[in-house]
Amino acid sequence: MKFRTELNIPESDRKITHFRPVLGIGSCFVDSIGEKLESSKFQVLSNPFGTLFHPLAIENALARILSLTKYTPDEIFKFGEVFFSWDHHTSFSQISLNATLNKINSELELANDFIQKADVFLLTFGTAWVYRIKEMGIFVANCHKVPNSNFDKYLLDDKQIQASLKNCFNLILDINPNAQIIATVSPVRHTKDGIVENSLSKSKLISNLYDVAQKFETVEYFPAYELMMDDLRDYRFYKKDLVHPSDMAVDYIWEKFSSTYFDSETNEKIKIAEKIGKAIAHRPLNASTTSYKEFLYKTGKKIESVESLFPKNSFEPEKSLLQNLMKNAD
């Protein structure tokens, strides 16, 4: 007997390896997959503008990164005690204008440098609902807890969504015509908009993303939303907020992502990285024992034996931590 509908995803013809840098922009699903990629020693940069939800915000971020158009003081605003940018997530907000501006522009420079070599792009769209600030007439990436009375709320129509999606893809292809673009719809449910409104929003994104992707040979659709809603389809796979996927759900979607985009050699490298990560994280009851010192020594030798399989300096954080652990064990 079958008790659930399992979604089988065809393998991609274009495999992602450790030597193909990955840039991810979009919802917090990008952060979840980005963390998995980073811990597996891929070259990855996730959300240099912070979490972004709708196509217009993602399009704007890509345009600013590619043009390296730095932010100026007149693009930084204040509400309460913090300064912020309407284009960025609240994680960029600081208690001084200069600190906010420096953080934003340093990440922008980092992203511009990274995008020159990026070969894989993961774009995750979360919602078709947007907010336009009345005073300025611009669509914002984040409302920064400014009262709702300052905004008009809109549902993007099909033409707006398709135009923005095309712009996102074309911006990427302008800098790398052979880039592999993986587009997804976020599995996170935007219940604050309303259950019906969330379903309407997701359906618009899926429908328009499907139509636009057909026009680009390098764009692939990964069904993260469908895996959550139709394959797992149970509240036990959500966090306590009943909105975000649980760690178990993220692990499951990661497994599906891995089987779609990684070959056997890459999966073996991921296992090696995971094993080293677990070894580094191990803490004995007594760090002064000979057996623990031998364990640390063997772990260091293991890193030396495999680091040529990964991008340069992939294990520098582990090697540094290992040195500190060995010093403390003496």
Mean per-residue pLDDT, 220-227: 96
The whole-number average pLDDT for the span 204-218 is 96
User: pTM of whole model > 0.85?
Assistant: yes
pLDDT digits (tens, 9 = 90+) for 289-329: 888 888 888 999 999 999 999 999 999 999 998 888 888 77
Distance CA 55, CA 155 (A): 12
Reduced to 3 states (helix: H, G, I; strand: E, B; else coil), residue 125 is: strand
Which pLDDT band holds residue 286 (cuts at 50, 70, 90)? confident
CA–CA dist 160, 113 (Å, integer): 30
Phi-psi region of 103 (alpha: psi -120 to 50; beta: other; left: phi over 0): alpha
State the Cα–Cα distance between residues 41 and 44, nearest whole angstrom: 8
Percent of the chain whose pLDDT exceeds 70: 100
The per-residue pLDDT for range 167-190, each reduced to its tens digit, is 999 999 999 999 999 999 999 988
Q: Which two tokens stand for residue 271?
A: 């296992």
Smallest CA-to-CA distance from 132 within 101, 154, 149 is with 154
- Residues forming a β-bridge with 124: 26, 184
DSSP per-residue letters across 147-175: -GGGEEEEEPPHHHHHHHHHHHHHHHHHH
- 14-43: per-residue pLDDT in tens? 999 999 999 999 998 899 999 999 999 999
Contact predicate 252/232, CB 8 Å: yes
Distance, in Å, from the CA atom of 279 to the CA atom of 299, rounded to the nearest integer, reads 7
Strand partners, 151: 133
- Pair of tokens at residue 117: 């070599």
Question: What is residue 136's three-state secondary structure?
Answer: coil
Question: What type of residue sits at position 94?
Answer: Q
Cα–Cα dist 114/302, whole Å = 29
In the block, tokens 């420079």 appear at 109
Average pLDDT over residues 256-281: 94
- The answer, yes or no, to whether residue 1 has pLDDT greater than 80, is no
